[in-house]
Amino acid sequence: MRPPLLVLGTLLLGFALELLWPTYLPAGRAHLGLWLVPFVPGVALMTAAMRQFRAAGTPVETWRPTEAIVTRGVYAHTRNPIYLAMILIYVGLAVLLDSVWTLALAVPLIAVLRYGVIAREERYLDAKFGEPYGAYRARVRRWL
C-alpha cells in the first residue's frame, strides 16, 4: 500500500471508530491549539524533504525508481523525514479531532510504516546503491 493512502486509511478508520464509540482526549478543550504543535512542524518537514528530493532529481513517489540518495538538509538528521512528517501531521489531526481512537491507531500505523514500508525501501536502496547507502545508514538514524 502506498504510504499516504495508508496514513489516510488509518485516519479514516480512527474517525469511523470515533463515530461508533466516541472518545475524548483528557485535555478537554485545551487540545484545540495543541494540534498545531505536531502538525506545523510535520508540514514544514514534509515540504523541506520533498523539495530536497526534487532538487536531487529523484522522485518522491515510492513506486518510482530512486535516482539518488539524498543525504543533505533534513536527510542529514533523519533517513525518513517524509514518514516522520506523516506521523506528525497524523498526530496533529488526531488531537484536532479530539479522538483517542485516532491517536491510539498511530502506534500500529508507525509499526506498519516501519516494518512494512521502510524495511522494504531500505532493502531496495541497499541493493541499488550498496556501500554509499550503507555508510549513510550507519551515519544517520532512521527516525531522529
pLDDT tens for each residue of 43-65: 999 999 999 999 999 999 988 99
Phi, psi at 5, each rounded to 5°:
-70, -35
Residue with cell 488509518: 10
Report the distance separating Cα 6 and Cα 36, nearest Å.
Answer: 22
Neighbours of 98 (CB within 10 A): 19
pLDDT at 125 over 70: yes
Which residues, at least 6 apart from 105, have a Cβ–Cβ distance to it below 8 Å?
10, 13, 14, 17, 94
Mean pLDDT of the chain: 93
pLDDT at 36 over 70: yes
pLDDT score at 23: 87
pTM, 2 dp: 0.92
Inter-residue long-range contacts of 61-66, CB under 8 Å, 24+ positions, other chains counted: 62/2, 62/3, 62/117, 62/121, 63/2, 66/124, 66/125, 66/128
pLDDT score at 29: 65
Please tell me the number of Cα atoms within 13 Å of 4 on its side-chain side.
6
